[in-house]
Amino acid sequence: MQKKQIKYIFAFILTIFIFFLQSIFSRIGWWIASRFDYSLIDNDGLFMMVSVHHIVQALLALLVIFIFYKIKDNVVFKLKLKFDIVGIKYTMFFCVAIFIYYIIVYIIGSKLNSIAVYDYELNTANVVGTLNFQLLLSGTSEEIIFRSLPIVLYKNVINSNKKSSDVLAVVLTSVLFAIAHFNWKLPISIQWFQIVYAFVLGLTFGFVFIKSKSVIYPMIMHGMSNFISVGICYLYMSLV
């Protein structure tokens, strides 16, 4: 069997393994988060439970990263803050681009009456709680699980420094990121725009992770993307 074929077989097996890990992290996160009562802080149930879920799944991913690090001490998951001019440039460009994108979406959507808004009250607790979750926790947790852990594992299993291996790792992790945005509740419904959007963002975050050699920049990009998305919707709701 050729080396290339073996590489793809290993990549496929690893994809199944990573999908299993990510599913377990999420399930345990939701189970632990559901053990608590958040009504005093989060009466509408918008941000506390999902915040605890993201913290738990991130800690589980970090535990797995620690185990792999101990087993093979030359595995670097790029979790440290690293000053990288390329990472800074991509992050700034992305934040400006995503802000412009959502402004255009809401301008066009308001003309076409096609904007979907949130169905809860925009009180201080709801606004501050949801925006803080999106900015500080969503990207931080998910980039550890969907970028740092899987991309580094792919690169070590494939055992190649070629650009084609980087592309394969980024594409496969982006597929897993898109799958995570499926609605698995019966009847299963697939929102294709959301899936494609998640896949494209996954490619973007993965590319910056490879280029900057740090997960911090994808974390910032991910958090800002969610913060801008929700924040502009709140702004729109307060103006109409």
pLDDT number for residue 134: 97
Phi, psi of 122, rounded to the nearest 5 degrees: -90, 65
If you ran DSSP here, which 8-state letter would residue 44 be given?
Answer: T
pLDDT number for residue 67: 92
Tell me the C-alpha distance between 129 and 227, whole Å. Answer: 11
Tell me the C-alpha distance between 129 and 42, whole Å. Answer: 8
State the chain's mean pLDDT as an integer. Answer: 91
Q: How do residues 43-67 score in pLDDT, each as one tens digit?
A: 999 999 999 999 999 999 999 999 9
pLDDT number for residue 161: 64
Residue 226 lies in domain: 3-239
Q: Are 135 and 116 in contact (CB under 8 A)?
A: no
Residue 99 burial by CB count (10 A; 0-12/13-18/19+): exposed, middle or buried?
Answer: middle
Q: How many domains does the chain have?
A: 1
The residue count for the chain: 240
Q: Are 54 and 29 in contact (CB under 8 A)?
A: yes
From first to last of its 240 residues, what are the pLDDT tens digits of the chain?
A: 566 677 778 888 999 999 999 999 999 999 999 999 999 999 999 999 999 999 999 999 999 999 988 887 777 888 888 888 999 999 999 999 999 999 999 999 999 988 989 999 999 999 999 999 999 999 999 999 999 999 999 988 876 667 778 898 999 999 999 999 887 666 666 678 889 999 999 999 999 999 999 999 999 999 999 999 999 999 999 998
Tell me the C-alpha distance between 43 and 232, whole Å. Answer: 23
pTM here is 0.93
